[in-house]
Structure 1
Amino acid sequence: MWTLYRLRPADWQALWDSQDGLCALCFTGLDETRMAVDHDHRCCPGERSCGRCVRALLCRKCNTNVGWLEAQPNHDFKSFLELLHDYVDRRALRVTDLDAELARHGNARPARVSVERDRTKPL
């Protein structure tokens, strides 16, 4: 930890304890061997940190997402999150609207057809 993040064992343990061993973003349990130390890349670009810019411990998935977001032009997180929220809302509503529209015209969405196949024969 010292070489990459300038964290002494006591510093790392304090960070771990302050987060109760959970990812600071999604609150899933962290595995001490499979987690990331997140730091501000505006301070220290690359994998190494001065130690002052360490933000939190993250699971790998959240760390990847934070890294992707930070790589976007202008770091416009708020706009991105608003767009993401709108996108998810639109996608969720689309199915509901389709069902409502079909019902209004006296139609129903076709039921899914389950087809059993003979699993002893190759496809």
Structure 2
Amino acid sequence: MKKYNITAADYDAILESQGGKCANQFCGTRDVGDSFSVDHDHSCCPENARSCGACIRGLLCSRCNLGIGLFDDSIESLKGIISYLEKWSVRQTS
């Protein structure tokens, strides 16, 4: 947790504030030990290999964290994927 400039107590407090679940409200994955990844805004501290700690967004399960990372935190890219999935969902139900 040194990499994110938080303590184990900070991690526990964040997890408690999330109800013991992934910060993605649509996911619902529950914590099993220290299994969640610390999600932070990568644009906050680009010159450092470490986070300042102020840019922590929450704790995510590995699937949600990986998904965001694969899309480089791009809201537009994720909206595009949602649009794509909605298009195919409508086609299949018509």
Length-normalised TM-score, structure 2? 0.77
Structure 1 unaligned segments of length 5 or more: list them. Answer: 98-123
1:86 to 1:29, Cα distance in 2 relative to 1, 3 A: same
1:109 aligned partner: none
1:57 aligned partner: 59
In the alignment, the residues of structure 1 paired with residue 37 and residue 28 of structure 2 have an alpha-carbon distance, to the nearest angstrom, of 14
**1:30-41 equivalence runs, <5 A:** 30-41=31-42
2:89 aligned partner: 92
After alignment, is 55-64 or 3-12 more displaced? 3-12
Q: Deviations over 1:38-81 (max 9, x none)?
A: 0111012476311111110000111111112236xxx3x14641
- Tell me which of the two structures has the higher relative contact order, counting C-alpha pairs closer than 8 angstroms and 6 or more residues apart: 2
2:15 corresponds to which letter in structure 1?
W
Q: C-alpha root-mean-square deviation of aligned residues, in Å? A: 2.2
Asked if residue 67 in structure 1 is aligned to residue 69 in structure 2, the reply is: yes
Larger Rg: 1
Structure 1 segments of 4 or more deviating over 6 A? none
Length-normalised TM-score, structure 1? 0.61
1:79 to 1:48, Cα distance in 2 relative to 1, 3 A: closer
1:8 aligned partner: 7
* SS of 2:20 mapped into structure 1: coil
In the alignment, the residues of structure 1 paired with residue 11 and residue 36 of structure 2 have an alpha-carbon distance, to the nearest angstrom, of 12
| 2:22/2:30 contact within 8 Å kept | yes
1:101 aligned partner: none
Task: State the identity as a percent.
Answer: 40
In the alignment, the residues of structure 2 paired with residue 96 and residue 17 of structure 1 have an alpha-carbon distance, to the nearest angstrom, of 40
